[in-house]
Amino acid sequence: MRNFDYFKPGKITDACSLLSKYGEKAKIIAGGQSLLILMKEKIVCPSCLVDITEIPNLDYIQYDNKGGLRIGALTTHREIESSSLIKERFNVLSEVEKAIASIQIRNVGTIGGNLCHGDPCGDLAPLLIGLEAQVKLTGFESERLVPLEDFFTDYYETVLKEDEILAEIQIPSLLLSGGQWYSKCSPRETDPAIVGVAVVASLESPDGICRKIRIVIGGAGPVPLRSKKAEKRIEGNRLDEKLIEEAAKIVKEEVAPVSDIRGTEEYKREMVELLTKEGITGALEKVKK
């Protein structure tokens, strides 16, 4: 790796000041599970690293019925996976965390770093978008909330400004009549998704009329994609096998995967269709329980 300056500020304002001073030459490091690999391969060559691990009040999991779930950016994957609060109220998030890399990486890697890395094959982003998450971005002189759906802009790129830090992830309270599901296609359970599909659905009544649904696909384009056409087709209608198959075909045509070493475009589209059917059916079953 090339030489770089290293700072370990104790306040978020000091970290943002350093980011503002160094601009695009600076990188934030927390767990470092993705950044260090990129640096070793000389894909990124920052002249400044800002270590935020000593900044207080960025590692927490909190919940209340009004504000929903709040997770600090420095919270590790393992902490989320093991949290009794999350298992009780957002169990799908705990289950997805179990399928992220190895336990050694989950012990160190943070949720904030995972999202800021912007990997389109990541497991968390599609699910969190399905759960209507938003992120709090703290800058040197400002703070803003951004829906996670609007956070990603391209492959490994986000809306973060040069002086901003992702400080918190916020997820609203789940509807009691809701069901959540995430499934992915990958060589091994803990490998990154070739494609992944998250479905969050709620019903108006026991007769199967869908009140609301969000379908989000990862790994089939530069950023996670919400299939609004499929959602519109489903909402207000009774979920049956025919409608589920129709919606899955809509999603298959709406995604924009590219052929690469991990699979052809055709293969990825077929897997998206299959996983969408599985996801809607799985979410529906959880609602019925």
Q: Any long-range contacts for 13-16 (C-beta under 8 Å, 24+ apart)?
A: 13/140, 15/50, 15/52, 15/55, 15/165, 16/138, 16/139, 16/140, 16/163, 16/164, 16/165
> What pLDDT, on a 0 to 100 scale, did the predictor assign at position 287?
81
Q: In the block, which residue shows the tokens 């009004």?
A: 66
In tens, the pLDDT along 73-83 reads 999 999 999 99
Characterize the bridge pairing of strands 26-29 and 5-7. Answer: unpaired
In tens, the pLDDT along 159-185 reads 999 999 999 999 999 876 689 999 999
Mean pLDDT of 255-264: 95
Tokens of 97: 């965390």
**Which residues have C-beta within 8 Å of that of residue 268, sequence separation ≥ 6?**
194, 195, 219, 220, 255, 257
In tens, the pLDDT along 35-84 reads 999 999 999 999 999 999 999 999 999 999 888 999 999 999 999 999 99
Decide: 181 and 286 in contact? Cβ < 8 Å: yes
Chain CA centroid to CA 239, Å: 26
Decide: 124 and 114 in contact? Cβ < 8 Å: yes
CA distance 47 to 37: 16
pLDDT grade, residue 206 (50/70/90)? low
Mean pLDDT of 256-283: 96
Residue 193 has pLDDT above 70, yes or no: yes
